[in-house]
């Protein structure tokens, strides 16, 4: 295992505007956000898209375990904690200051039985253990919007190795910029092509979903039914995501196959 990365030296800043509290890593770029009146909701569009993996498996007993690479404002961790009560959450965050800020200013729960925050390098964590997870969410960037070692084929191979039989890996890719296609190719290589790249959301972020275990073969009707249930239970509305997916992604026999 490689030596752990040093703690980032950039500042961690907070701003507020129109009832929304934002997290910044030494720049104007928003790394996380929370609507103060609805701290459990997913304020940023790309965080909502990252949870679209919930459309790909039956929700009755899945997921039971989630691994988040990158904490940010804790939006994804809080959503899973609140609305998926049977799911145990592990978060790996390289900067201890980010955890402090998330707890003090973004209402990250203090419940180590269900929510375990590990301070360390996400790549080292992935390569240094063998515990498997139902859901892996990768959202780790530096102030320059670079993912570094978290966007390499060995890292994605490690993600695949840490997925359970029904596991889904969700990766936040920062839009269709110059390095976007290279990231997609690395994910495809690690997962033997079993990847679905969803259309970009309003923020420009693009989310890739991958699996290496039991196949995903979900119909549009099944996805809509799950989206309706999620909207009812959590107010998370993924119906527009399904519509964009249908318009932009080839779906043989009306099903998404991964």
Q: Is 116 a catalytic residue?
A: no
Beta strands in the chain (DSSP E): 13-17, 20-24, 30-35, 65-69, 88-93, 115-119, 133-138, 163-173, 195-197, 206-210, 217-219, 255-257
Torsion angle of C-alpha atoms 133, 139, 141, 146, degrees rounded to 10: 100
Exactly one of 124, 139, 151, 166 is catalytic; name it. Answer: 139
163 near 169, Cβ under 8 Å? yes
Q: What's the distance, CA 115 to chain centroid? A: 16
d(CA 93, CA 241): 28
215 near 255, Cβ under 8 Å? no
Q: What residues act catalytically?
A: 139
């Amino acid at each position: 295992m490689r030596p752990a990365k040093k703690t980032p030296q950039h500042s961690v800043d907070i701003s507020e505007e129109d009832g929304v509290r934002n997290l910044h890593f030494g720049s104007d770029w928003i790394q996380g956000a929370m609507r103060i009146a609805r701290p459990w909701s997913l304020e940023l569009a790309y965080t909502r898209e990252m949870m679209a993996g919930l459309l790909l498996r039956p929700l009755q007993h899945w997921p039971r375990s989630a691994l988040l690479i990158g904490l940010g404002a804790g939006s994804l961790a809080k959503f899973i904690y609140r609305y998926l009560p049977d799911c145990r959450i592990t978060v790996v965050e390289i900067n201890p200051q980010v955890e402090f800020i998330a707890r003090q200013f973004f209402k990250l729960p203090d419940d180590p039985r269900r929510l375990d925050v590990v301070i360390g390098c996400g790549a080292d964590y992935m390569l240094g253990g063998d515990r498997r997870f139902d859901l892996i969410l990768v959202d780790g960037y530096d102030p320059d919007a670079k993912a570094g070692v978290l966007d390499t084929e060995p890292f994605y191979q490690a993600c695949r190795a840490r997925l359970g039989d029904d596991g889904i890996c969700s990766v936040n890719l920062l839009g269709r910029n110059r390095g976007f296609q290279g990231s997609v190719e690395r994910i495809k290589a690690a997962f033997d092509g079993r990847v679905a790249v969803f259309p970009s959301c309003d923020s420009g972020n693009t989310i890739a979903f991958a699996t290496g275990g039991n196949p995903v073969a979900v119909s549009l009707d099944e996805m809509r039914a799950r989206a309706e249930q999620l909207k009812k239970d959590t107010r998370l509305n993924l119906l527009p995501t399904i519509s964009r997916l249908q318009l932009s992604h080839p779906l043989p026999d009306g099903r998404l196959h991964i």
